[in-house]
Amino acid sequence: MASSKRKGLAQQFIEAQQRKAKQKAAQEKAEQAAADKAKKAAEREQALTQRQAQRAAEKLAMQQQAADARQVQQVLREMEKRETLRQQQETQDARDKKRAQERAATEAARTAKAQAIQQFKDEAAEQTRRVEATIEAINSVLSARDRQLDHLRAETDAAFDDGNAEAYAECVSDLLGQRTFFNRGRPVQVVYASDTHRLTLVVDLPRKERVPTEKSFRYVATRGEIIAEPRKPVEIQRIYQDAIARLTLCVADYAAAITSPELVDSIAVNGHVRTSDPATGQPVNPCLITFLASREDFEQVNLDEPQLDPVRCMHHLKARVSPNPFDLEPVTPIVNFDLERYKLVEEAGALAGLDSRVDLLTMSPYEFEQLIQNLFLAMGYKSWKTQNSRDDGVDAVAVRDDIAIGGVAVIQAKRYTKTVPIEAVRALFGTMQEKKAYTGLVITTSSFGPASYDFAKEVGRITLIEGRQLLALLKEHLGMDVLISLAKLPKGWTLADAGQTDSGSTAPVN
């Protein structure tokens, strides 16, 4: 029993030890399980912590990423904004630059336009100034003329010491050519008649184109051009008449200043203009102003008087001034220069004992016209208007107060060497009817046939003047002894009828 009791105790001890061991094992197991559990819990806690940390890290990362993204977006937005602002600034700068360029271009264009306008205005002012200077030059012809020329009288007197009128006239012409206003154009033609102590001058007048037809110039902006303000035709004509009157008075004053009163009692001046006839285009040289004045009368005129009216002064000196110089309407020279010169040639020929008389057939058409014109003026005709001639003759319309009807006469002068054909006389009658002339005259250097005389008798108002009658009229009214150098004299003529002498002509007689 005791052994069984010991066995039981041992068993119990063993069992107790086993139970202890089991308990211990269980405890250890429990502890181990608890430890494992704790470990697992720790691990879980750690895993959870890690997961939480990871999540927190991930969250933080996500937050950081989001923040970074937001920052990036902000940066991008800032960059985009800056880019937009930059682009806007560039656009604004470009716009400002363009506007500045446009303003500069506009300002440059405005400046250029203003300069162009000013240039046009200056040009208009300059053109006006030139016009005014031309008018001033015309008005100053008398005030700007040469003065104190009396010392030149000794030179002209010396030229006439031997009584040579031609040398005297040449000396006067040379001295006039040295004077202001006459030192650049054609020389003044001069002839001196020693028997009458008359000095006759022919001066070239300025052409009408020298007078400005414009009064002033101005720039019209709306038209973009300079326009001229025209002068009234009446004013242009007045200026031109004033110009030719001033120049004529100037040359007369020069002539009086350089010649002695003992040699020159009177001065005649004829002013001609060399131009073209607008109707034919042919050159013409009409006389537009003429006067003859004694030295005493001329020296009574005060050419330095500021209020002197040159045109009225010319009329005071009984001058003839063209009423329409712009239309080249001529006046008849009071003293014909060519006739004065012819008389001088006649006198020289007579002194030389030679026949130096004027030959009507060798005269120029102009000289022949002037001769016929002066003849009829000397015969009492008051006016003379030359028509266009078609056969080397003079066709003119003249007026005489004592003609019964109308006072108009048609005159034809034929410088022929053969008999004038009947057609010429018939043509005269047609012209008489056209001009409503009461009478007509046909003058020739030759003769007429019977048919012409019959026709003239039938009409009753036509006068035929042959060459021998023409010579007689020239002798009677102009004091001219001329000849007609016909190679063959008309029937019934003698050498004397043609002004020829036996020794001076070999013309056969029919």
pLDDT single digits (tens) 486-501: 888 888 888 888 777 6
Look at 48-57, 275-284, 444-453 and tell me which has the smallest mean pLDDT: 48-57
Q: Report the alpha-carbon distance of residue 112 to residue 405 in Å, rounded.
A: 73
Q: What is the pTM of this model?
A: 0.55
Q: Give CA separation, 318 vs 197, 205, 239, in Å.
A: 20, 19, 20
Is the pLDDT at 431 greater than 90, yes or no? no
Between 6 and 478, where is the model more confident? 478
Per-residue pLDDT, 322? 82
Is the pLDDT at 49 greater than 70, yes or no? yes
- Structure-block tokens of residue 99: 């506007």
Using one digit for the tens of pLDDT, what is the confidence trace for 280-328?
A: 888 888 888 998 999 999 989 998 877 788 988 988 888 888 877 777 8
CA dihedral 190→194→293→338, nearest 10 degrees, is -40
Return the closest-CA partner of residue 378 out of 362, 358, 398.
398
Is the pLDDT at 357 greater than 70, yes or no? no
Return the closest-CA partner of residue 358 out of 509, 168, 367.
367
Per-residue pLDDT, 342? 57
Model confidence band, residue 389 (pLDDT cutoffs 50, 70, 90): low
CATH architecture for the domain at 357-510: 3-Layer(aba) Sandwich (3.40)
Model confidence band, residue 123 (pLDDT cutoffs 50, 70, 90): very high
Tokens 């058409």, residue located: 365
How many other C-beta atoms lie within 10 A of the C-beta of residue 415?
22
Strands (E), 325-450: 383-386, 393-399, 408-414, 439-444
Between 387 and 208, where is the model more confident? 208
Strand arrangement of the beta sheet that strand 462-465 belongs to:
383-386, 393-399, 408-414, 439-444, 462-465
Per-residue pLDDT, 375? 85
- Structure-block tokens of residue 256: 């009086």
Is the pLDDT at 48 greater than 80, yes or no? no
Look at 3-7, 123-127, 489-493 and tell me which has the smallest mean pLDDT: 3-7
Using one digit for the tens of pLDDT, what is the confidence trace for 131-174?
A: 999 989 888 888 889 999 999 999 999 998 878 888 999 999 99
What does R_g of the chain's alpha carbons equal in angstroms?
Answer: 62
**Residues present in the chain in total:** 510
Amino acid at 421: P
Model confidence band, residue 348 (pLDDT cutoffs 50, 70, 90): very low
Helix (H) or strand (E) holding 433: helix 422-435
Per-residue pLDDT, 351? 37
Per-residue pLDDT, 355? 46
Using one digit for the tens of pLDDT, what is the confidence trace for 226-237?
A: 999 999 988 888
Per-residue pLDDT, 462? 93
Per-residue pLDDT, 378? 79
Look at 4-18, 289-303, 461-475 and tell me which has the smallest mean pLDDT: 4-18
Judge whether 489 and 363 are in contact, CB under 8 Å.
no
How many other C-beta atoms lie within 10 A of the C-beta of residue 468?
20
Judge whether 240 and 252 are in contact, CB under 8 Å.
no
- Tell me what the pLDDT averaged over the chain comes to: 82
Using one digit for the tens of pLDDT, what is the confidence trace for 51-61?
A: 777 777 777 77
Per-residue pLDDT, 126? 94
Per-residue pLDDT, 391? 54
Per-residue pLDDT, 20? 74
Per-residue pLDDT, 234? 87
How many other C-beta atoms lie within 10 A of the C-beta of residue 116?
12
Please give the backbone phi and psi of residue 142, each rounded to the nearest 5 degrees, phi first. Answer: -75, -40
Between 177 and 66, where is the model more confident? 177
Strands (E), 65-196: 189-193
Is the pLDDT at 365 greater than 60, yes or no? yes
Top mean-pLDDT range of 62-71, 103-112, 339-348, 367-376: 103-112
Residues 250-275 have a mean pLDDT of 93
Model confidence band, residue 187 (pLDDT cutoffs 50, 70, 90): confident
Per-residue pLDDT, 350? 41
Per-residue pLDDT, 463? 93
Phi-psi category of 270—alpha, beta or left, where left has phi over 0 and alpha has psi -120 to 50?
Answer: beta
3-state secondary structure 128-141: HHHHHHHHHHHHCC
